[in-house]
Amino acid sequence: MQNLKEKIQRREAVVGVMGLGYVGLPLVATFAESGFATVGFDRDVAKIDALRQGKSYIRHVPSERMRSLLRPVAPEVGHPGFYPTGEYPLLARCDAVLICVPTPLTANREPDLSYVVGTTEVIAQHIRAGQLVVLESTTYPGTTEEVLQPILERGGLRVGRDFHLAFSPEREDPNNTAYTTRTIPKLVGGMTPECGEVAAALYRAVIDRVIPVSHARVAEAAKLLENIYRSVNIALVNELKMLFDRMEIDVWEVIDAAATKPFGFTPFYPGPGLGGHCIPIDPFYLTWRARQYELTTRFIELAGEINQGMPAYVVEKLADALNSQGRSLKDARILVLGVAYKRDLDDDRESPALKLMELLQRKQARCVYHDPYIPVLKRSRRYDFQLQSVPLTVEELRAADAVLIATDHSGFDYEMIVRESRLVVDTRNATKGVSVGRENIVRA
C-alpha cells in the first residue's frame, strides 16, 4: 500500500469527496486547484445539475471558481479538475475517498449517524485494496473504529492491511475571509500508524499545516473539545447578559472592557441562541457518549440548557417591550431581520432566528422576515415556515409593530431601521453606533 503515498506525491491519486455541502465543496475545489483529479459525489440531483452548469449554491464558494475547475467527464490522472456526479460506481476509480456528510441530532438529542452509515455502506460496495477512506464529519470518539471499520471490512478487506482508514475533522468557518480550507491547520488520526501517515500525506499535498495525532479517537475528541469550548463560553456570556440586564449594565461594554487585558481572557459574545452545523449539535455527541461510560457531563449539559433558553428570553424581552408601548404580542406584526445563523452567510441551519419565529407564532404573533442571503425559507427537519423574504423598505419597517434583529448582516442600514421603526429589539448589538431614535431600541 506504500504505492498510494507515491501517487499522492506525484499528484496521480484520484480524490473522491462524498457530500458537496459547506464542507465538501470547498474541499473538492482545494484538491482540484492543487492538481488532483477530483470527483465530487452527492445524492442531491439539483446540486449536481447546478455544478455541471458551473453554478455554485454556496455564496462564499464563487461560481467562477467552480466553473474554472469543472471537467465534462470524470477526471483522469494527469488531467486535474472537478467532476460532480451521483454515479457511485466511480468510487472504485478513486484512490482516496473523503466523507463530508451531516451528523445531526435526533428529536431526542441523540447522534444521528444515518448519513455516515449510508455513505459508508455505499463506499463498501465499491472499495478496493489500496484505497484511503477518511471521515471528516464531526462525531463522537470511536465512530471511525466502531461504525465505519466493520462496514468497510464486510467484504474481506482489512484496515491497515488492505486499505487505510482515518479521521480528519473538518474545521470550516464559512465566510471567514481570514482562513481558507488550505490555511486552516488539519488534524489527522489514523486507525493504524501507517493509515495516519498516508492520510497526512494526502492533506499535506493541499493544506499548509497538517498535525498528526496518535489515533482517530484523539482527532474525534479534539474536534468536540473545540466546539464544546465555544459552547460553554458562549453560555457564560449569555447568562451574564441576562444578569447584567437586570443590573442595568451593558454586557457588550463589559466584554470590551475585559478584552483589553492582554492575557488570560478571550472575548465571547452573547446572542439570541446558537446556530450552525457544529456548536448547537456537537457537544451532545459527547454527552451521549459519556452516558455509555456511566458519566454525566453536567458542565456541557448546563451550557446547552442556557444556550437553548436564549430564544425564549428574547421573546420575553420583546413581549415586555411591546407591553410598555401599550401593545400585545398577540396579533403583532414582527419583522425578523436576518435568518442566517451567522452574519453575511447564506446558511440557516440551526439558526436561532428560526426558533424565535416558531416561539412568536406560538404566541400568535404575525412573523415576516428579511434576509438578503436567504430569499426563501425552505422546509427543514424541524421547521416548515414556507415564507419568502420581504423587501427591507420604509413601508415594511413602519408596518411592523416591532423589528427583531436576529442576525447582524453588515449590509443592513441600521440608521434607517431604527429611524423608521416603532420598536427595535436588538439581539446582536448591531445598533451600537446608531445616533438617532435610540429610545426605540431594546437590547435582548
Catalytic machinery residues: 278
Chain centroid to CA 168: 16
Please state the φ and ψ torsions of residue 376, each to the nearest 5 degrees: -135, 135
In 10 A of CB 177, how many CB atoms? 8
3-state DSSP assignment of residue 252: helix
Pairing of strands 81-85, 37-41: parallel
Which residues lie closer than 8 Å to 174 by C-beta, 6 or more apart? 22, 58, 60, 342, 345, 347
Query: What's the rounded Cα separation, in Å, for the pair 350 and 114?
Result: 18
Query: What's the rounded Cα separation, in Å, for the pair 380 and 374?
Result: 14
Amino acid, res. 300: I
- Residue 285 in grid coordinates: 455527541
Chain centroid to CA 274: 11
- Residue 125 in grid coordinates: 460496495
In 10 A of CB 307, how many CB atoms? 24
Per-residue b or e along 320-354, where b marks 16 or more CB atoms closer than 10 Å to that residue's CB: ebbeeeebebeebebbbbbbbbbbbbbbbbbbbbb
Contact indicator for 47, 84 with CB cutoff of 8 Å: yes
Q: What value does the CA radius of gyration of the chain take, rounded to a whole number of Å?
A: 24
